[in-house]
Chain A
Protein backbone atom coordinates (compact mmCIF):
# COMPACT_ATOMS: atom_id res chain seq x y z
CA UNK A 1 0.00 0.00 0.00
CA UNK A 2 2.76 2.44 0.81
CA UNK A 3 3.83 2.31 -2.83
CA UNK A 4 0.42 3.38 -4.01
CA UNK A 5 0.88 7.14 -3.68
CA UNK A 6 4.22 7.29 -5.54
CA UNK A 7 2.70 5.02 -8.18
CA UNK A 8 -0.27 7.38 -8.55
CA UNK A 9 2.03 10.37 -8.84
CA UNK A 10 4.00 8.65 -11.59
CA UNK A 11 0.74 7.82 -13.33
CA UNK A 12 -0.42 11.45 -13.12
CA UNK A 13 2.90 12.74 -14.37
CA UNK A 14 2.77 10.29 -17.24
CA UNK A 15 -0.68 11.46 -18.31
CA UNK A 16 0.05 14.57 -20.32
CA UNK A 17 -2.45 17.35 -20.84
CA UNK A 18 -4.21 17.43 -24.19
CA UNK A 19 -1.95 20.14 -25.53
CA UNK A 20 1.00 17.83 -24.97
CA UNK A 21 -0.30 15.14 -27.32
CA UNK A 22 1.81 14.61 -30.40
CA UNK A 23 0.41 14.00 -33.89
CA UNK A 24 2.22 13.05 -37.05
CA UNK A 25 1.43 13.33 -40.72
CA UNK A 26 4.14 12.37 -43.19
CA UNK A 27 7.38 13.92 -41.95
CA UNK A 28 5.57 16.46 -39.80
CA UNK A 29 5.12 16.31 -36.05
CA UNK A 30 2.42 18.51 -34.56
CA UNK A 31 2.28 19.25 -30.85
CA UNK A 32 1.43 21.90 -28.25
CA UNK A 33 -1.89 22.80 -29.87
CA UNK A 34 -3.52 25.31 -27.53
CA UNK A 35 -5.86 28.24 -27.34
CA UNK A 36 -6.86 30.83 -24.78
CA UNK A 37 -10.19 31.02 -23.01
CA UNK A 38 -12.43 33.69 -24.50
CA UNK A 39 -14.78 36.23 -22.96
CA UNK A 40 -18.02 35.13 -24.57
CA UNK A 41 -18.25 34.07 -28.20
CA UNK A 42 -18.31 37.56 -29.75
CA UNK A 43 -14.57 38.06 -30.02
CA UNK A 44 -12.10 35.95 -32.00
CA UNK A 45 -10.12 33.22 -30.26
CA UNK A 46 -6.53 32.33 -30.96
CA UNK A 47 -4.80 29.12 -32.02
CA UNK A 48 -1.16 28.27 -31.35
CA UNK A 49 0.76 25.12 -32.30
CA UNK A 50 4.25 23.78 -32.91
CA UNK A 51 5.07 21.95 -36.16
CA UNK A 52 8.37 20.17 -36.79
CA UNK A 53 9.38 19.06 -40.26
CA UNK A 54 11.81 16.15 -39.90
CA UNK A 55 11.86 15.50 -43.64
CA UNK A 56 14.02 16.85 -46.43
CA UNK A 57 11.24 18.62 -48.34
CA UNK A 58 9.85 22.05 -47.48
CA UNK A 59 6.16 22.13 -46.64
CA UNK A 60 3.67 24.86 -45.73
CA UNK A 61 0.60 25.23 -43.54
CA UNK A 62 -2.06 26.51 -45.93
CA UNK A 63 -5.27 26.44 -43.91
CA UNK A 64 -6.97 25.54 -40.67
CA UNK A 65 -10.55 24.42 -40.09
CA UNK A 66 -12.55 23.65 -36.97
CA UNK A 67 -16.17 23.08 -36.00
CA UNK A 68 -15.48 25.53 -33.15
CA UNK A 69 -15.26 28.55 -35.46
CA UNK A 70 -16.98 29.58 -38.68
CA UNK A 71 -13.98 31.40 -40.11
CA UNK A 72 -10.56 30.43 -38.82
CA UNK A 73 -7.68 32.24 -40.52
CA UNK A 74 -3.91 32.30 -40.39
CA UNK A 75 -2.36 35.61 -39.37
CA UNK A 76 1.00 36.99 -38.44
CA UNK A 77 1.58 39.68 -35.86
CA UNK A 78 4.20 42.00 -37.32
CA UNK A 79 5.78 44.80 -35.30
CA UNK A 80 7.42 47.30 -37.66
CA UNK A 81 8.78 50.62 -36.41
CA UNK A 82 6.84 50.22 -33.20
CA UNK A 83 3.50 49.53 -34.91
CA UNK A 84 1.80 46.15 -34.57
CA UNK A 85 -0.32 44.99 -37.45
CA UNK A 86 -1.77 41.59 -38.18
CA UNK A 87 -1.64 40.72 -41.86
CA UNK A 88 -3.41 37.64 -43.16
CA UNK A 89 -0.93 34.84 -43.94
CA UNK A 90 -1.87 32.95 -47.10
CA UNK A 91 0.45 30.12 -46.13
CA UNK A 92 3.09 29.65 -43.48
CA UNK A 93 6.33 27.91 -44.49
CA UNK A 94 7.44 24.79 -42.61
CA UNK A 95 10.98 24.38 -44.02
CA UNK A 96 12.68 20.98 -44.08
CA UNK A 97 14.48 20.22 -40.85
CA UNK A 98 12.93 23.16 -38.99
CA UNK A 99 10.26 23.84 -36.40
CA UNK A 100 7.50 26.34 -37.02
CA UNK A 101 6.00 27.93 -33.93
CA UNK A 102 2.61 29.55 -33.98
CA UNK A 103 3.11 31.45 -30.72
CA UNK A 104 2.13 34.72 -28.99
CA UNK A 105 3.51 37.69 -30.90
CA UNK A 106 4.06 35.87 -34.21
CA UNK A 107 2.13 33.55 -36.46
CA UNK A 108 -1.23 32.49 -35.03
CA UNK A 109 -4.62 31.23 -36.04
CA UNK A 110 -7.42 33.73 -35.54
CA UNK A 111 -10.70 31.94 -34.91
CA UNK A 112 -13.60 34.16 -35.91
CA UNK A 113 -17.26 33.29 -35.63
CA UNK A 114 -16.94 31.10 -32.56
CA UNK A 115 -19.72 28.54 -32.16
CA UNK A 116 -19.51 28.97 -28.41
CA UNK A 117 -17.31 30.66 -25.83
CA UNK A 118 -14.10 28.78 -25.08
CA UNK A 119 -13.64 27.97 -21.41
CA UNK A 120 -10.47 26.88 -19.71
CA UNK A 121 -10.29 23.06 -19.77
CA UNK A 122 -12.37 22.74 -22.96
CA UNK A 123 -10.89 21.19 -26.06
CA UNK A 124 -11.85 21.26 -29.72
CA UNK A 125 -10.60 19.60 -32.90
CA UNK A 126 -8.61 21.55 -35.48
CA UNK A 127 -7.76 20.26 -38.93
CA UNK A 128 -4.49 21.59 -40.32
CA UNK A 129 -3.96 21.37 -44.07
CA UNK A 130 -0.41 21.22 -45.37
CA UNK A 131 0.58 21.80 -48.97
CA UNK A 132 2.41 18.47 -49.25
CA UNK A 133 1.67 16.37 -46.16
CA UNK A 134 -2.10 16.84 -46.42
CA UNK A 135 -4.57 17.00 -43.54
CA UNK A 136 -4.17 16.18 -39.87
CA UNK A 137 -6.70 16.77 -37.10
CA UNK A 138 -5.42 17.65 -33.63
CA UNK A 139 -7.09 18.33 -30.30
CA UNK A 140 -6.67 21.91 -29.13
CA UNK A 141 -6.61 22.47 -25.38
CA UNK A 142 -8.15 25.68 -24.06
CA UNK A 143 -5.85 27.17 -21.43
CA UNK A 144 -6.56 30.18 -19.21
CA UNK A 145 -6.82 33.65 -20.71
CA UNK A 146 -3.50 34.48 -19.09
CA UNK A 147 -1.65 31.34 -20.25
CA UNK A 148 1.58 31.73 -22.17
CA UNK A 149 1.65 28.14 -23.38
CA UNK A 150 1.11 24.56 -22.26
CA UNK A 151 3.31 23.11 -19.55
CA UNK A 152 4.47 19.85 -21.09
CA UNK A 153 7.05 17.51 -19.63
CA UNK A 154 8.28 15.20 -22.34
CA UNK A 155 9.72 11.81 -21.48
CA UNK A 156 13.46 11.80 -21.94
CA UNK A 157 13.80 15.58 -21.83
Chain B
Protein backbone atom coordinates (compact mmCIF):
# COMPACT_ATOMS: atom_id res chain seq x y z
CA UNK B 1 0.00 0.00 0.00
CA UNK B 2 1.31 3.42 -0.93
CA UNK B 3 0.47 6.37 1.24
CA UNK B 4 -0.30 9.75 -0.25
CA UNK B 5 1.52 12.76 1.15
CA UNK B 6 -1.63 13.79 3.03
CA UNK B 7 -1.93 10.35 4.62
CA UNK B 8 1.72 10.49 5.70
CA UNK B 9 1.19 13.90 7.29
CA UNK B 10 -1.94 12.71 9.09
CA UNK B 11 -0.22 9.57 10.40
CA UNK B 12 2.70 11.70 11.53
CA UNK B 13 0.39 14.08 13.34
CA UNK B 14 -1.45 11.17 14.96
CA UNK B 15 1.87 9.72 16.12
CA UNK B 16 2.99 13.01 17.62
CA UNK B 17 -0.36 13.45 19.34
CA UNK B 18 -0.09 9.96 20.86
CA UNK B 19 3.40 10.65 22.19
CA UNK B 20 2.27 13.98 23.63
CA UNK B 21 -0.82 12.36 25.15
CA UNK B 22 1.22 9.55 26.75
CA UNK B 23 3.69 12.08 28.11
CA UNK B 24 0.79 13.84 29.76
CA UNK B 25 -1.29 10.86 30.83
CA UNK B 26 1.41 8.66 32.37
CA UNK B 27 2.41 11.07 35.15
CA UNK B 28 -1.29 11.85 35.64
CA UNK B 29 -2.17 8.17 35.90
CA UNK B 30 0.54 7.56 38.49
CA UNK B 31 -0.63 10.29 40.81
CA UNK B 32 -4.32 9.71 40.22
CA UNK B 33 -4.05 6.04 41.14
CA UNK B 34 -2.37 7.09 44.35
CA UNK B 35 0.92 5.50 43.31
CA UNK B 36 4.03 7.57 42.83
CA UNK B 37 7.10 6.22 41.09
CA UNK B 38 10.23 8.23 40.79
CA UNK B 39 12.64 6.38 38.54
CA UNK B 40 15.32 9.03 39.01
CA UNK B 41 15.70 8.46 42.72
CA UNK B 42 16.28 4.75 43.19
CA UNK B 43 17.55 4.14 46.68
CA UNK B 44 17.61 1.39 49.27
CA UNK B 45 16.13 2.32 52.63
CA UNK B 46 17.79 0.73 55.64
CA UNK B 47 16.54 0.09 59.12
CA UNK B 48 17.41 -1.87 62.22
CA UNK B 49 14.63 -1.85 64.79
CA UNK B 50 13.36 -4.12 67.55
CA UNK B 51 10.17 -6.07 66.98
CA UNK B 52 7.57 -6.66 69.71
CA UNK B 53 9.65 -9.44 71.25
CA UNK B 54 12.78 -7.29 71.33
CA UNK B 55 14.56 -9.01 68.41
CA UNK B 56 16.36 -6.62 66.08
CA UNK B 57 15.02 -6.76 62.55
CA UNK B 58 16.79 -5.12 59.64
CA UNK B 59 16.03 -4.63 55.96
CA UNK B 60 18.48 -7.46 55.13
CA UNK B 61 16.28 -9.94 57.05
CA UNK B 62 13.48 -9.42 54.52
CA UNK B 63 15.60 -9.76 51.37
CA UNK B 64 13.68 -11.51 48.61
CA UNK B 65 10.30 -10.20 49.72
CA UNK B 66 8.31 -7.15 48.79
CA UNK B 67 7.89 -4.88 51.81
CA UNK B 68 4.83 -2.74 52.48
CA UNK B 69 6.04 -0.24 55.06
CA UNK B 70 3.88 2.12 57.08
CA UNK B 71 5.17 4.61 59.67
CA UNK B 72 2.59 5.39 62.35
CA UNK B 73 1.72 5.18 66.01
CA UNK B 74 -0.73 2.96 67.83
CA UNK B 75 -2.54 5.83 69.59
CA UNK B 76 -3.66 7.17 66.24
CA UNK B 77 -7.44 6.78 65.90
CA UNK B 78 -8.05 7.60 62.24
CA UNK B 79 -5.21 7.41 59.69
CA UNK B 80 -3.33 4.40 61.09
CA UNK B 81 -6.28 1.99 61.51
CA UNK B 82 -7.58 3.00 58.09
CA UNK B 83 -4.27 2.27 56.36
CA UNK B 84 -3.55 -0.93 58.30
CA UNK B 85 -7.06 -2.14 57.40
CA UNK B 86 -6.22 -1.65 53.73
CA UNK B 87 -2.95 -3.54 54.22
CA UNK B 88 -4.83 -6.37 55.95
CA UNK B 89 -7.30 -6.53 53.07
CA UNK B 90 -4.45 -6.66 50.55
CA UNK B 91 -2.81 -9.53 52.46
CA UNK B 92 -6.10 -11.48 52.54
CA UNK B 93 -6.74 -10.87 48.85
CA UNK B 94 -3.21 -11.87 47.78
CA UNK B 95 -3.96 -15.46 48.80
CA UNK B 96 -0.89 -17.72 48.43
CA UNK B 97 1.13 -14.78 46.98
CA UNK B 98 0.94 -13.11 50.39
CA UNK B 99 3.97 -15.24 51.36
CA UNK B 100 6.07 -12.98 49.13
CA UNK B 101 4.90 -9.76 50.75
CA UNK B 102 5.87 -8.61 54.24
CA UNK B 103 3.90 -5.74 55.77
CA UNK B 104 5.79 -3.69 58.40
CA UNK B 105 4.43 -1.16 60.87
CA UNK B 106 7.25 1.12 62.07
CA UNK B 107 6.36 3.10 65.17
CA UNK B 108 7.21 6.81 65.19
CA UNK B 109 6.21 6.86 68.87
CA UNK B 110 8.24 3.83 69.97
CA UNK B 111 8.46 4.36 73.70
CA UNK B 112 4.71 4.78 74.24
CA UNK B 113 3.87 2.08 71.69
CA UNK B 114 6.06 -0.48 73.46
CA UNK B 115 4.19 0.34 76.68
CA UNK B 116 0.77 0.12 75.04
CA UNK B 117 1.67 -3.11 73.27
CA UNK B 118 2.83 -3.42 69.69
CA UNK B 119 2.01 -7.06 68.97
CA UNK B 120 -1.66 -6.92 69.96
CA UNK B 121 -2.08 -3.78 67.86
CA UNK B 122 -0.66 -5.22 64.63
CA UNK B 123 -2.30 -8.63 65.19
CA UNK B 124 -5.71 -6.98 65.51
CA UNK B 125 -5.42 -5.99 61.85
CA UNK B 126 -3.53 -8.96 60.42
CA UNK B 127 -1.18 -11.52 61.92
CA UNK B 128 1.22 -11.05 58.98
CA UNK B 129 2.01 -7.47 59.99
CA UNK B 130 5.24 -7.12 61.97
CA UNK B 131 5.43 -4.13 64.30
CA UNK B 132 8.82 -2.50 64.87
CA UNK B 133 9.67 -0.02 67.61
CA UNK B 134 13.32 0.99 67.97
CA UNK B 135 15.06 3.60 70.04
CA UNK B 136 14.54 7.28 69.20
CA UNK B 137 17.84 7.36 67.30
CA UNK B 138 17.13 4.13 65.37
CA UNK B 139 13.65 5.37 64.48
CA UNK B 140 14.96 8.71 63.21
CA UNK B 141 17.63 6.89 61.17
CA UNK B 142 14.99 4.61 59.61
CA UNK B 143 12.73 7.54 58.75
CA UNK B 144 15.63 9.48 57.22
CA UNK B 145 16.55 6.43 55.20
CA UNK B 146 12.99 6.25 53.82
CA UNK B 147 13.14 10.04 53.32
CA UNK B 148 10.03 10.52 55.41
CA UNK B 149 9.00 12.96 58.08
CA UNK B 150 7.61 12.59 61.56
CA UNK B 151 7.47 14.89 64.52
CA UNK B 152 6.15 14.96 68.04
CA UNK B 153 3.69 17.81 68.50
CA UNK B 154 2.60 19.25 71.81
CA UNK B 155 -1.14 18.82 72.23
CA UNK B 156 -2.22 19.65 75.79
CA UNK B 157 -5.61 18.03 75.16
CA UNK B 158 -4.15 14.86 73.61
CA UNK B 159 -3.27 11.63 75.41
CA UNK B 160 -0.08 12.26 77.47
CA UNK B 161 -0.06 15.84 76.17
CA UNK B 162 1.24 15.14 72.68
CA UNK B 163 0.42 13.70 69.30
CA UNK B 164 2.51 12.70 66.30
CA UNK B 165 2.40 14.12 62.82
CA UNK B 166 3.83 11.80 60.20
CA UNK B 167 4.01 10.88 56.53
CA UNK B 168 0.95 8.67 56.10
CA UNK B 169 1.86 6.96 52.83
CA UNK B 170 2.54 3.26 52.39
CA UNK B 171 5.99 2.53 50.95
CA UNK B 172 6.78 -0.35 48.63
CA UNK B 173 10.25 -1.88 48.76
CA UNK B 174 11.31 -4.50 46.22
CA UNK B 175 12.87 -7.93 46.85
CA UNK B 176 16.34 -6.43 46.23
CA UNK B 177 15.69 -3.70 48.77
CA UNK B 178 15.02 -0.92 46.24
CA UNK B 179 12.45 1.75 47.05
CA UNK B 180 9.83 1.16 44.33
CA UNK B 181 7.25 3.76 45.12
CA UNK B 182 4.59 4.90 47.52
CA UNK B 183 0.84 4.57 47.81
CA UNK B 184 -0.50 7.86 49.09
CA UNK B 185 -2.86 7.88 52.07
CA UNK B 186 -6.34 6.77 51.03
CA UNK B 187 -5.23 4.49 48.16
CA UNK B 188 -7.73 1.64 48.11
CA UNK B 189 -6.78 -1.96 48.84
CA UNK B 190 -7.86 -2.89 45.30
CA UNK B 191 -5.34 -0.48 43.71
CA UNK B 192 -2.51 -1.68 45.99
CA UNK B 193 -3.44 -5.30 45.30
CA UNK B 194 -3.45 -4.79 41.52
CA UNK B 195 -0.06 -3.08 41.65
CA UNK B 196 1.47 -5.88 43.74
CA UNK B 197 -0.03 -8.59 41.53
CA UNK B 198 1.51 -6.94 38.46
CA UNK B 199 4.93 -7.30 40.11
CA UNK B 200 4.65 -10.78 41.65
Q: Give residues in A with beta carbon < 8 Å to B.
A: 36, 39-40, 42-46, 71, 73, 75, 77, 79, 82-86, 88, 104-105, 108, 110-112, 145-148
Contacts and interface: CB of A to CB of B under 8 A. Distances in A.
Interface residues of B, number: 32
Interface stretch (B3-11, B38-46, B134-142, B166-174): B166-174
Residue among B165, B166, B185 with most chain A CB within 10 A? B165
A139 to B, nearest CB: 20
Given A84-B167, A84-B168, A73 B157 contact: yes
Given A83-B149, A86-B165, A39 B78 contact: no
Interface string B105-142: 00000000000110011001100000000000000000
10 contacts: A36-B81, A44-B77, A46-B77, A71-B157, A82-B168, A104-B78, A105-B186, A145-B85, A145-B124, A147-B85
Interface in B168-190: 168-169, 184-186
Contact of A105 (B116, B153, B167, B185): B185
Contacts of A148: 82, 85
B48 interface: no
A106 B186 CA distance: 11
Contacts of B81: 36, 46, 145
B85 A75 contact: no
Given A79-B168, A105-B186, A112-B159, A46 B121 contact: no
A108 B81 CA distance: 13
Contacts of B78: 46, 75, 77, 86, 104-105, 108, 110
B195 interface: no
A88 B158 CA distance: 9
Contacts of A73: 157
Given A145-B81, A145-B124, A44 B165 contact: no
Given A84-B168, A105-B82, A146-B125, 4 more contacts: A82-B184, A83-B166, A86-B163, A111-B77
B153 A84 contact: no
Nearest to B74: A43
A112 B157 CA distance: 10
Contacts of A42: 116
Contacts of B144: none
B124 A84 contact: no
Closest 4 CB pairs of A and B: A85-B165, A84-B168, A146-B85, A46-B77
B102 interface: no
B74 to A, nearest CB: 6
Given A82-B167, A105-B185, A112-B159, A43 B85 contact: no
